[in-house]
Structure 1
Amino acid sequence: MDATDDVGWWIVGYDGWTDLDLIRERLAAGADPNSGVRIFDKPLHVAAEQGSPEVVAELATRVDDVDAEHRGRTALWMAVFEGRVDNARVLVSAGADPWRPMMDGWSPGRLSLAGPTPDLFPAPSPEIGLSEAEAATTAEAKRLIPALGDFYYDGLSLACVADVSAAEAAARLEATPADDVNIDALYEAWYNVPDADRIVGITDVPGGCVITQPWGYTPDTPGLGKRVSLGTVCYSMYSNPKGGISGHVARDRTVSAWETHTAYMTPPDAPAEEILAAYLYRNHPPAFCCAGADLHLADARPITGLPGAWLQLPERDYWA
């Protein structure tokens, strides 16, 4: 839609979905309540994710179908995924179905069972619920996230390697002890230290090991992931100080990329276990990596504290 067209939604910014007067103004000007908004195309989906209950209620009375799907999910699914309990209740009051099957078996109602408000919707039958494996995954997330706590991780990269000790990971990387490196200088001004990108920390943890670099991206490179993931899995991430968190999953030397999950970025064809992990860890990327590699950290010290050892990696192209 042309940005000069005054009948659409283009003027509504991120914060605009909490402004009931603005939304009513757009509707009165001819904006389509069923489509026309950025990525999601459906105003009710966007409002469910980031708007106010008042705006959600207004749009719910204007749409043709309160349970219309976009990319495999309804507006109610969006509200549940993003923890917008207030918006979820409004949508159900407007007729949305919490138990409508979607997203590989994750209806809004089933998804809510894994969240902080498992009693949000009355279950239509006792058979509807989490499987034993899903319940265990949910319980571990509820343990792991508070165990790690909140910490500042801009600039940090992290690799979580399953079933591999720190010594074995160092051998796979052909790394040597960084005995001659001034670690204090790295913390103070890493950019003044030659080859700072090749210095990493490594620590044994229950289930495997973690590789960290507080000042750079090296643990999240495909080359490192390939080398440590032989016969196992490595989940890695990098928090770019310039903005954004990205990561890789290496399974037996095959690497794929991942990005932090939001309600609209979760692929519509994702398998059920990936959807659950995206929901449980959507605002906690370090915990997501630990959980992906099945590492059972008791606290954040292996990530934020001094590592078990400092290693110097050999010079090579770690992006290859």
Structure 2
Amino acid sequence: MKGWTGVTWDSWRDAEEIRARLATGADPEDWGFGQRPLHRAASYGSPEVITELAARVADVDAPQDGTTALWEAVLAGRPDNARALAAAGADPWRPQLGGWSPGRLALAGPVPDLFPVPAGEPGLTAAEQATARNARRLVANLGDFHYGGTGLACVAGIDAAEAVRRLSGEPVGEEFMADFLDDPYDHDQDDSLLLVGVTTVPGGCIVTQPWGYTPSTPGVMARLTAGTFGYGMYANPKSGNQGGIHRDGVTEDWDLHPGGGPLPGHTPEEVLTGYLYHYKAIAYACAFAGLHPTDARAVTGPADVWIRLPALDYWEEPTDQ
């Protein structure tokens, strides 16, 4: 990190600071730990810093972990940085993760005219266009809200009443829940982890626990997904979003990272959804299960019904499915 020690997030927007560091020996090709300064500036910096760095590197499209700085600017939703990189010679149509190029990916995003489309570029398929439209609608419907510490089960094809039946839940009185919701963390933890909200939404239902992980556990997801499928997630305040795919009562995949963006090895479909739901973990979980909530109520409350679950070990899948 020679020359870059002490750089903060704000530094990448300060052209004077970056220019001074470069003048005193900071390496424009190496920020340290295998990372490139231009990639960091593309995600967090300003067009002025982009221009300064791009003029000093040997290849403005040099990859880091399989992607170029231009890809990172598109993924981060920084159109001004993307334009600055293109002006410096970056190639918007260079295939990268899952065969997607930054230019083609941008066609699915909020600035579809970010780059001129060259002749022969096929653009998005009808299915990709539909996926992008659904993502924009879903993200807009949910809006922005704090969901740290929330556990969630998004389940296809069943309503709240069926979910309550499958979980053998007992409805909780309104007076108790009003008192509980004033400060969930002021109540017995073991009891609070058995309280969940259940809400019918278009496409299925959502089970929520804004103060805990229970809806995402294998035991709850197994009961809910018999004969169907769903996505469970816990917004762990310590380690980030943790997701799992469950189908017909069985855990299909675990330790996933919804909202984390596209990764090397992802399929073309996974790259697209990773981009569309980058930093939008709740929307991703809903989309996976084919749910179309019209607002955030099913996640934040008030739920259609609040229930208390039986006192079972929900880290174990039931054996009688």
Tell me if TM exceeds 0.5.
yes
Aligned partner (choices 4, 10, 32) of residue 27 of structure 2 = 32
The residue that corresponds to 2:275 in the other structure is 279
Q: Does 1:220 align with 2:216?
A: yes
For the aligned residue pairs, the C-alpha RMSD in angstroms reads 2.2
Q: Report the CA distance shift for 1:262/1:211 in structure 2 as closer, same or farther (over 3 A).
A: closer
Q: Report the CA distance shift for 1:230/1:9 in structure 2 as closer, same or farther (over 3 A).
A: farther
Matches for 1:36-75 after TM superposition, within 5 Å: 36-38=31-33, 41-75=35-69
In 2, Cα distance between equivalents of 1:198 and 1:113: 44
SS of equivalent to 1:67:
coil
In 2, Cα distance between equivalents of 1:237 and 1:319: 14
Runs (5+) with no aligned partner, structure 1: 2-6
8 Å Cα contact 1:66-1:75 kept in structure 2: yes
Read off the aligned partner of 1:117 and give its amino acid letter: V
Read off the aligned partner of 2:43 and give its amino acid letter: E
Read off the aligned partner of 1:317 and give its amino acid letter: D
8 Å Cα contact 1:222-1:248 kept in structure 2: no
8 Å Cα contact 1:245-1:260 kept in structure 2: no
8 Å Cα contact 1:233-1:249 kept in structure 2: no
The residue that corresponds to 2:89 in the other structure is 95
Partner deviation per Cα, 1:237-292 (whole Å, 9 max, x = no partner): 3345x5664131222222412335456xx321112222212221223222222111
Give runs of ≥4 in structure 1 deviating > 6 Å.
none
Q: Does 1:123 align with 2:121?
A: no
1:64 positional shift? 1.1
8 Å Cα contact 1:100-1:107 kept in structure 2: yes
The residue that corresponds to 2:319 in the other structure is none
In 1, Cα distance between equivalents of 2:265 and 2:13: 30
Count of residue pairs brought into register by the alignment = 311
SS of equivalent to 1:104:
helix
In 2, Cα distance between equivalents of 1:268 and 1:10: 29
Name which of structure 1's ranges 304-313 and 175-184 shifts more when overlaid on structure 2: 175-184
The residue that corresponds to 1:18 in the other structure is 13
The residue that corresponds to 1:257 in the other structure is 255
Read off the aligned partner of 2:282 and give its amino acid letter: P
Aligned partner (choices 180, 183, 191) of residue 189 of structure 1 = 183
In 2, Cα distance between equivalents of 1:305 and 1:191: 16
1:97 positional shift? 0.5
1:178 positional shift? 3.0
Q: Does 1:79 align with 2:77?
A: no
Q: Does 1:162 align with 2:144?
A: no
The share of aligned pairs that are identical, in percent, is 50
In 1, Cα distance between equivalents of 2:301 and 2:167: 22
Runs (5+) with no aligned partner, structure 2: 317-321
8 Å Cα contact 1:82-1:262 kept in structure 2: no
Q: Report the CA distance shift for 1:21/1:262 in structure 2 as closer, same or farther (over 3 A).
A: farther
8 Å Cα contact 2:259-2:284 kept in structure 1: no
8 Å Cα contact 1:187-1:215 kept in structure 2: no
In 2, Cα distance between equivalents of 1:13 and 1:192: 37
Read off the aligned partner of 1:33 and give its amino acid letter: P
TM (normalized to structure 2)?
Answer: 0.88
